[in-house]
Amino acid sequence: MSGAPVTVAVRHVTKTFDGPHGGKVAAVDDISLTVRAGELTALVGPDGAGKTTLLRMAAGLLRPQSGSLEVLGIDVAADPQAVQDRISYMPQRFGLYDDLSVQENLDLYADLHGVPQADRQKRFARLLGMTDLARFTARPAGKLSGGMKQKLGLACTLVRSPDLLLLDEPSVGVDPLSRRDLWAIVQQLVDDEGLSVIVSTAYMDEAERCAQVFILNRGRLLAEGTPRALADRARGLTFTATPTGGMPARDLQARLIDAPDLIIDAVPKGGDVSLIRRPGAGDARLAALLRDAPLTPRPEDLEDAFMMLLRQQEDGQSAPAAAPAAAPAAAPAANRPPAERPAPATQPGAGGPVIVVRDLVRKFGDFTAVASTSFDVAQGEIFGLLGPNGAGKTTTFRMLCGLLPATSGHLEVAGLNLRTARAEARGRIGYVAQKFALYGDLTVKENLTFFGGAYGLRGRSLRARIAATLDEFSLDPAARSGLLPAGYKQRLAMATGLLHQPDILFLDEPTSGIDPLARRAFWRTITALAQGGVTIVVTTHFMEEAEYCDRIAIQDAGEMLALGTPGDIRAEARAADMNSAFIAIVEQGRARREAGAA
Amino acid sequence: MSASGFALRLAALTRKETRQMLRDRSNLVVGLLLPITLILLFGYGLSFDVRNARVTLVLDDPSPTARTMVEGLEGSPYLAPAWAPSMVEAEAMMRAGRTDAILRVPADFSARLAAGDARLQLILNGVDSNTAASIEAYVQGALAIPAQKEADRAGGKPPATGSAATGSVTLVQRIWFNEAAESTWFLVPGLVVLVMTLIGAFLTSMLIAREWERGTLESLFVTPVRPMEVVLAKLVPYFVVGAIDLVFCLLAARFLFEVPVRGSLAVIVAASFLYLIVSLSLGLLISAVTRNQFAASQLALLTSFLPAVMLSGFVFDLRNVPGPIQAISQLLPATHFMGLIKTLFMAGDNWPEIWRACAILTLYAVVLLALTGRLMRKRLD
């Protein structure tokens, strides 16, 4: 493969932007890399690694400060239009025209790319078939679900076969089924047309499909190679620890991840804990940390290598340099769990149900968003609500928070009926919205003060809560909220939701767009809260995160398809991992529905 | 890229803009309903004419001569005279705001008239100076005729009215172009300027900014599309809306407000189209600079619509404003178009003026479009 022609050559490229504190921040810092033609290439890295900046420079939308960038043999900075005539680019948020229909969006891009009429019908038929959008050609793009929009965006960039396809995080916020469909389309075009593709992604399973992977962090290239070669870096360090004595996997995981001098990474997986040990970690100390949990070696994969590289770079840099706001959304909270509260009960279920849902229904006109749903959530439990885009998760969520009245059914939160005591119930819950819903122009402290006031906290108790929260979440009170990195914004949002010490915390897709290290830190906080007796209800598109939950519910088209512990769900779907279990359950549900309708 | 590529892309983008415009109802409201509202509002609501001004007559001299003198006021459509028994009542009415003027015929009027030195007293309510000045003129005009007759009959001097003694010389006034001095005649042509400005700058100022906000430009840029094609495609549909509004304005001017159209229609339409392009380009330029819909609409209002109302000579005569403001007003394309359109409506085709104004407007159009094209670089930084 080394003889393959080069499609992108990056030589010592640097690009800086104005930083939040007046100085310059290098988004891309002296990167050199070569991308071969005719294959899939992945750029992986956490939030702020420089992936988007690099892709934008390759597309001629940004000009590098120094260094050179050659795309298809053309110097992009000198002649961006020549490159733009030949490549296709899908930005993170593809610019579909919401008020144009699916077909009109496709036509527009076909016209702009000068696709001859004769070729169009065949191409459109194929794209619409692959994206499963053929039924919706007359629908305005703005009325499509998130996953469908993303597929249409991809179709628009593929109206003709480009000489190079750039995809910037095409699967952020997209459910596993749509994600699988998107990749099937890309893969098919690579196979059939020898398409050259560069894709940036936060999903390691996506990077594993690529021929070549570049791992970036904080503007620097950490490593490159085939997924296999990269995974080898973690050889001999990867193990599975099995909790004993009925201990939840996440409790063991919490203990392990709190020992960063021995453990690089630990995540709950299939009832066990997947971990990477530090190369220098002594066996005796490790055994002491594991206590009686048996350790078995497991094959290393790309994610292990990725986590290892990230931790190494963070370790090397975390000490002096980074300014508070530019700091990685990582370590502090992971290393130092939030102050544990005086816990009424640490065992989930011991406190009895705090959320009772019976025959919950919500209709919008003729459309049933949520159909007859029943479940309980016990005190101190972490309850995950999963489902494809448009499954009714958000609607269920809003009803539970008292933001949307139910059409029918019984709803009890913290012992209060939401029909009769909505305001009172709201005082007992905290809500963290999917989008950053705090005031970006205010500082961290100003936001906390404002929301604390809104929750009815005053004077000394407000000041005490703010001080405790700032400390608990390692937040800089003077930082401007809007300028925080994504992981810190998420942390601030959660801190705000917890100011009034609610019994129940609702989190709507809290980890979308956050890098793996920040996600570990985030879940560590969540598990600590649950140990402290707070009940957590969470939605997510990262199926592996379902492993942190005590129980999960899978919803699709408003119906509850499955409810149980992650282990139950995997067993029910006869799947080894959560992602395939989820896809299997949703597809079975859809097949049943279609059979019922026929 | 070939010329056919340009045409194909421009056509595709124009189709897209047109569809977006038609599907967004707020565009049509601002584009069609607002101009109609403006026409009716300014046409009917904004008038400097005085009709049925309340003039209170105080007749201290009961002689028939004095009575004949003031009876002339009753024939005027602009004045509504009413009698008051004495000056005391008249003053009370003035203070209560129930009359706009007092015309007092002093007790010695007949006697002094015979001596050729008659005087009348006119007291005006000066709260609204425009109205006061109009009433003064109407009263003078109404008194001039019987005064002249009286003078002829007496073979002496006509009486002087108010303080402005006309002596024995009679001033014969005639107003050209707007014979009745109707304010709608000079306001309605100005409306064309306001409406073209509103459609142009205000509507289009949102267009590029909206694409920046929604992130649609990032996808559009990485195609063979050229920045100028994006700009031109946005001009086309809004130019059509502007043309429809121009028709509204011309129809309203001719049939609703009965303003004469003395210049040739073709020149009026051509000049308006030229100004429309200037105005559209200004909106697009604002949009390309701000990249933010809210800022763009505020800036458009501040730099185009408000100056068009205040500084273009729409209402206020520019010769009466201070020098620096006069200089600023000369920088506005609206000022040049305002002068031209008023001339065209009321005075007719004045070719030197037409060429001068059109040359200035063309220059503006070219410069603004070129600037917009330059600012629409396909770059995010």
Question: pLDDT tens across B209-235, in order?
Answer: 889 888 899 999 999 999 899 999 999
Query: What value does the mean pLDDT take over residues A397-409?
Result: 89
CB atoms A91 and B226 under 8 Å: no
- Give dist(CA A216, CA A42) in Å, integer: 10
Q: Measure A541 CA to nearest chain B CA, in Å.
A: 24
Q: Nearest-CA residue of chain A relative to B381?
A: A62
Average pLDDT, chain A: 87
Q: Is B223 on the interface with A (CB under 8 A)?
A: yes
Query: Which chain A residues are closer than 8 Å to B225 by Cβ?
Result: 112
Q: Measure B227 CA to nearest chain A CA, in Å.
A: 10
Confidence tier at A356 by pLDDT (50, 70, 90): very high
φ, ψ of residue A94 to 5 degrees: the values are -65, 135
Query: Which chain B residues are closer than 8 Å to A113 by Cβ?
Result: 223-224
Q: Measure B16 CA to nearest chain A CA, in Å.
A: 7
Q: Measure A114 CA to nearest chain B CA, in Å.
A: 7
Per-residue model confidence (pLDDT) at position B63 = 84
Residues listed for chain A: 598
Q: Which 3 state secondary structure label does DSSP give A132?
A: coil
CB atoms A60 and B23 under 8 Å: no
Per-residue model confidence (pLDDT) at position B168 = 42
Q: Nearest-CA residue of chain B relative to A168?
A: B219
- Give dist(CA A494, CA A546) in Å, integer: 19
Q: Nearest-CA residue of chain B relative to A56?
A: B380
Residue type, B162: G
The terminus-to-terminus CA distance of chain A in angstroms comes to 50
CB atoms B379 and A62 under 8 Å: yes
CB atoms B222 and A61 under 8 Å: yes
Q: Measure B374 CA to nearest chain A CA, in Å.
A: 15
Chain A and chain B share a number of CB contacts under 8 A equal to: 91
Query: Which chain B residues are closer than 8 Å to A166 by Cβ?
Result: 222
> Is residue B80 predicted with pLDDT exceeding 60?
yes
CB atoms B222 and A89 under 8 Å: yes
Confidence tier at B74 by pLDDT (50, 70, 90): confident
Q: Is B234 on the interface with A (CB under 8 A)?
A: no
CB A329 within 8 A of CB A486: yes
Per-residue model confidence (pLDDT) at position A102 = 95
CB atoms A61 and B220 under 8 Å: no
> Is residue B239 predicted with pLDDT exceeding 60?
yes
Q: Which CATH superfamily is domain B53-161 in?
A: abc type-2 transporter like domain (3.40.1710.10)
Q: What pLDDT digit, counting tens, does each position of A298-325 carry?
A: 999 999 999 999 888 877 765 433 333 3
Query: What value does the mean pLDDT take over residues B167-185?
Result: 58
Confidence tier at B176 by pLDDT (50, 70, 90): low
CB atoms B8 and A114 under 8 Å: yes
Tokens of B299: 């800036």
Query: Which chain A residues are closer than 8 Å to B12 by Cβ?
Result: 107-108, 111-112
CB atoms A114 and B9 under 8 Å: yes
Q: Nearest-CA residue of chain A relative to B25?
A: A99
Q: Is B211 on the interface with A (CB under 8 A)?
A: yes
CB atoms B381 and A62 under 8 Å: yes
Q: Is A293 left (phi over 0), alpha (psi -120 to 50) or beta?
A: beta
CB atoms A108 and B5 under 8 Å: no
- Give dist(CA B292, CA B286) in Å, integer: 10
Listed ranges A224-228, A310-314, A361-365, B369-373; the one with the highest mean pLDDT: A224-228
The terminus-to-terminus CA distance of chain B in angstroms comes to 25
Q: What pLDDT digit, counting tens, does each position of B98-136 carry?
A: 888 888 888 888 888 777 777 888 888 877 777 788 888
Confidence tier at B291 by pLDDT (50, 70, 90): confident
Please tell me which of the candidates B222, B223, B379 has its beta carbon nearest to residue A63: B379
Long-range contacts of B159-162 (CB under 8 A, 24+ apart): B159/B69, B159/B109, B159/B112, B159/B113, B159/B118, B159/B119, B159/B120, B160/B117, B160/B118, B160/B119, B160/B120, B161/B120, B161/B122, B162/B120, B162/B121, B162/B122, B162/B136
Confidence tier at B171 by pLDDT (50, 70, 90): low
- Give dist(CA A108, CA A119) in Å, integer: 15
Q: Nearest-CA residue of chain B relative to A142?
A: B214
Query: Which chain A residues are closer than 8 Å to B9 by Cβ?
Result: 111-112, 114
**In Å, how far from its chain's centre is CA A559?**
24
- Give dist(CA A89, CA A80) in Å, integer: 13
> Is residue B163 predicted with pLDDT exceeding 70?
no
Q: What pLDDT digit, counting tens, does each position of A445-490 carry?
A: 999 999 998 888 888 999 999 999 998 888 889 888 888 877 788 8
Q: Measure B362 CA to nearest chain A CA, in Å.
A: 30
Percent of chain A, pLDDT > 70? 92
Query: What value does the mean pLDDT take over residues A229-251?
Result: 91
Per-residue model confidence (pLDDT) at position A65 = 93
Q: Nearest-CA residue of chain A relative to B379?
A: A61
Q: Measure B292 CA to nearest chain A CA, in Å.
A: 16
- Give dist(CA A322, CA A49) in Å, integer: 14
CB atoms A62 and B20 under 8 Å: no
Please tell me which of the candidates B16, B219, B381 has its beta carbon nearest to residue A91: B219
Listed ranges A33-37, A266-270, A398-402, B4-8; the one with the highest mean pLDDT: A33-37
CB atoms A95 and B12 under 8 Å: no
Q: Is B222 on the interface with A (CB under 8 A)?
A: yes
CB atoms A156 and B219 under 8 Å: yes
Give Cα separations from B328 to A269, B310, B312 (angstroms): 72, 11, 10
Q: Is B19 on the interface with A (CB under 8 A)?
A: yes
Mutate which: B213, B214, B223, vs A, most A CBs within 10 A: B223
CB atoms within 10 A of CB A299: 9
- Give dist(CA A76, CA A9) in Å, integer: 10
> For residue A381, what are the contacts with CB-CB under 8 A and spacing of at least 6?
A348, A349, A530, A535, A536, A550, A551
Q: What pLDDT digit, counting tens, does each position of A504-551 carry?
A: 999 988 887 777 888 888 899 899 999 889 999 998 888 889 999 999
CB atoms A91 and B215 under 8 Å: yes
Strand B53-59, strand B79-84: pairing: parallel
Confidence tier at A273 by pLDDT (50, 70, 90): very high
Query: What value does the mean pLDDT take over residues A36-56?
Result: 91
Confidence tier at B172 by pLDDT (50, 70, 90): low
Confidence tier at A329 by pLDDT (50, 70, 90): very low
CB A398 within 8 A of CB A433: no
Per-residue model confidence (pLDDT) at position A337 = 44
Strand B119-124, strand A295-297: pairing: unpaired
Per-residue model confidence (pLDDT) at position A314 = 79
Confidence tier at A346 by pLDDT (50, 70, 90): very low
Query: Which chain A residues are closer than 8 Å to B219 by Cβ?
Result: 89-91, 94-96, 153, 156-157
Q: Measure B268 CA to nearest chain A CA, in Å.
A: 36
Q: Nearest-CA residue of chain B relative to A17?
A: B381
Tokens of A182: 């998107």
Between residues A156 and B149, which one has the greater pLDDT?
A156
> Is residue B271 predicted with pLDDT exceeding 70?
yes
Domain limits of chain B? Answer: 3-46+182-375, 53-161
> Is residue A351 predicted with pLDDT exceeding 70?
no
Residue type, A275: L
> Is residue A336 predicted with pLDDT exceeding 50?
no
- CA B341, B345, B351, B354: dihedral to nearest 10 degrees? 10
What residues of chain A have any CB closer than 8 angstroms to a CB in chain B?
17, 56, 59-63, 80-81, 84-85, 87-91, 93-100, 104, 107-109, 111-114, 140, 153, 156-157, 166
Per-residue model confidence (pLDDT) at position A327 = 35
Q: Measure A87 CA to nearest chain B CA, in Å.
A: 7
Q: Which of A499, A503, A494 is nearest to A413 (CA)?
A: A503
> Is residue B165 predicted with pLDDT exceeding 50?
no
Tokens of A328: 């990685």
> Is residue B13 predicted with pLDDT exceeding 60?
yes
What ipTM does this complex have?
A: 0.78
Q: Which of A30-39, A359-368, B309-318 comes out lowest in average pLDDT?
A: B309-318
Average pLDDT, chain B: 84
Q: Nearest-CA residue of chain A relative to B13?
A: A108
Q: Which of B290, B285, B315 is nearest to B194 (CA)?
A: B315
Per-residue model confidence (pLDDT) at position B48 = 67
